[in-house]
């Protein structure tokens, strides 16, 4: 039978805040204090993604009353660092995300050149299904496989867990959620979105981002190659003429050569010498 202290049971610290330090139990890796951090938010249309951006900024910059259609960049200062946050359009849960939304999602990393230090994949605490995993794979995949090396899962609405720790929640939700966490090297953070201004968790979140950068050899996600590749694919998918021409080209390339009836007669009934 599991026994937890009140802090362990809720995944919080003694002041009632989620305890991200408990989330990663391995020894802390050395990280460099960066004067600027660039973050890109990813997630569904209504999981608290934009609210998380506002929490980081300490003010309401990203509108919550309706789903965003465009990527938006804002900046602030957290513990002496300049922090740039790009909020991308949320993807759809029960239907395909329109290509124009996908293009805006892909545009996000290009808005914080030379590239983001981290992608914050916002997941609301709750039932996590195979469909959710597929949606994440589909949309995070827009940035290519290398994006996972720079991704941190940020859990929102963790207060619904009450006396269940975040670790127990992850185990309970099973292989689909665990697949997502394995893809990003089990990097995750629990955030309380009900605090603005001087937020006690933001310093730890920034340190976590710096740690990711250090673990990846100081490298950034370079959007140019992956984004351009994806834009070309999306543009072609949106252009029926280009699709038709490409299809015709493939068909013509595969079509056997035509031969005249006279030549065919010679093949069937060759002349006798």
270 phi, psi to nearest 5 deg: -60, 150
Sign of the C-alpha dihedral, residues 7, 206, 44, 175? negative
pLDDT in tens, 223-261: 776 656 666 766 777 765 545 554 443 334 333 333 344
R_g (Cα) of the chain, nearest Å: 25
**Under 8 Å between Cβ of 60 and 38:** no
- Strands of 58-132, DSSP E: 72-78, 81-87, 118-124
What is the average per-residue pLDDT within 83-88? 96
Instruction: Write out pLDDT tens, residues 153-168.
Output: 999 998 888 889 999 9
Between 271 and 165, the more confident residue is 165
Least confident range of 82-86, 114-118, 156-160: 156-160
- The answer, yes or no, to whether residue 63 has pLDDT greater than 90, is no
What average pLDDT does the segment 32-39 reach? Answer: 91
Query: Would you state the pLDDT for residue 225?
Result: 66
């Amino acid at each position: 039978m599991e026994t937890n202290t009140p802090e362990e049971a809720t995944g919080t610290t003694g002041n009632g805040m989620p305890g991200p330090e408990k989330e990663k139990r391995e020894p802390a890796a050395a990280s460099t204090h960066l004067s600027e951090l660039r973050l890109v938010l990813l997630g569904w249309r209504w999981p608290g993604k934009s609210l998380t951006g506002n929490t980081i900024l300490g003010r309401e910059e990203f509108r919550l009353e309706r789903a965003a259609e465009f990527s938006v960049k804002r900046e602030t200062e957290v513990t002496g660092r300049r922090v740039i946050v790009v909020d991308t359009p949320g993807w759809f849960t029960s239907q395909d995300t329109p290509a124009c939304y996908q293009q805006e999602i892909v545009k996000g990393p290009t808005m914080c050149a030379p590239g983001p230090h981290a992608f914050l994949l916002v997941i609301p605490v709750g039932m996590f299904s195979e469909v959710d995993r597929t949606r994440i794979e589909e949309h995070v995949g827009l940035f290519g496989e290398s994006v996972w090396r720079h991704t941190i899962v940020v859990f929102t609405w963790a207060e619904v867990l009450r006396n269940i720790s975040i670790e127990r929640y992850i185990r309970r939700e099973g292989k689909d959620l665990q697949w997502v966490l394995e893809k990003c090297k089990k990097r995750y953070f629990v955030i309380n979105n009900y605090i603005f201004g001087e937020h006690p968790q933001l310093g730890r979140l920034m340190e976590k981002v710096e740690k990711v950068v250090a673990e990846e050899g100081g490298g950034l996600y370079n959007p140019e190659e992956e984004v351009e590749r994806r834009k070309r694919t999306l543009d072609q998918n949106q252009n029926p003429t280009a699709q038709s021409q490409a299809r015709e080209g493939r068909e013509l390339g595969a079509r056997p050569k035509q031969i005249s009836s006279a030549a065919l007669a010679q093949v069937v009934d060759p002349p006798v010498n």
